[in-house]
Structure 1
Amino acid sequence: MDEKQSMEQMIEDKEQHYSEKDFFKTLKKYGAKLGFKGLHTAATLYTALKSPNMSKGNKMIILGALGYFILPLDMVADILPVVGLSDDLVVLTTALAKVFMSMDDDMKNDAHALLKKTFGERYVYEEVDTVDMQ
């Protein structure tokens, strides 16, 4: 069984919680409100989810975080100004902290490429401050 089939089995019957289509829809809709680090965190988790080098356990953590991100009604409704995405950022950042040591540079670089492809000229790469996740 290849990695894509394995991922599809992990996601099976969880479409109400996570879908690639809804991820990109949410990323585009709230991208500016998330800010650069929030965008990069979401994109990095997404690329790590797609990587065959990420463990299934870590992929389940990522699926949970990305599922929460795309959920329109969560602890703090995303439509509320300023605070609406704060809980999403906490969940995304916490998930990134848990899987960070399992990530490689390709996953991080793929996140920048994904954001450039998604947002075009509106996305300008800035060096992300390194956070000690240990």
Structure 2
Amino acid sequence: MSTIEGEILGPEARVDDAQEQKVRAGFWRTLTRAASQIQFAEDVVAGYYCALDPKTPARARAILFGALAYFVLPADAVPDFLAFIGFSDDLAVLTMAIATVRGHMTEAHKAAARKALAQMRGEGTGRPGTSGPD
């Protein structure tokens, strides 16, 4: 799966941007690998949806895409495959980004995050990030 089709926020959230495409391509795969180490997964997923939302101000979207790209891309300061510390640098970057743009994260972003996480845990139908079954 190279991209996620049928995002919860709809097709109007799609923008032709290389960084966005990289984040879309690897977000769910990386989140699944890191889920046990992320205490604030709902905020991370809500940040993902906030970044995809065209109503989010450009500065906030840029901050979120930068942090999410750092989370998704394999090259970073501490390799993600190292047990217990691999995602620590990613989580620090995500924490700072989310704290910076929290005011732009709407209830719709949070609801979409809860729904996607429930699907990821097998509580719903379909794969995360979709509005229906596969």
Map of 1:56 onto structure 2: 58
Structure 1, unaligned runs of 5 or more: 122-134
TM-score, length of structure 1 as denominator length: 0.74
1:25 is displaced (CA, Å) by 0.9
Q: Matches of 1:120 and 1:113 in 2, distance apart?
A: 11
1:66 aligns with 2:71: no
Alignment of 1:1-134 (within 5 A): 3-4=12-13, 7-9=14-16, 11=17, 13-14=18-19, 18-34=22-38, 36-37=39-40, 39-121=41-123
1:110 is displaced (CA, Å) by 1.5
- Which is richer in helix? 1
2:80 touches 2:86 (CA, 8 Å); kept in 1? Answer: yes
Point out 4+ residue stretches in structure 1 off by more than 4 angstroms. none
Count of residues in correspondence between the two structures: 113
Q: CA deviation digits over 1:38-71, x for unaligned, max 9?
A: x223201111112233111111111101000012
Quote the sequence identity (%). 32
TM-score, length of structure 2 as denominator length: 0.74
Q: Matches of 1:119 and 1:21 in 2, distance apart?
A: 20
Map of 1:127 onto structure 2: none
Q: Matches of 2:102 and 2:37 in 1, distance apart?
A: 24
Which residue identity is paired with 1:42?
V
Structure 2, unaligned runs of 5 or more: 1-10, 124-134
RMSD: 2.0
Q: Matches of 2:93 and 2:22 in 1, distance apart?
A: 15
Q: What secondary structure, in the 3-state scheme, does the structure 2 residue paired with 1:19 have?
A: helix
Map of 1:130 onto structure 2: none
Q: Matches of 2:117 and 2:70 in 1, distance apart?
A: 20
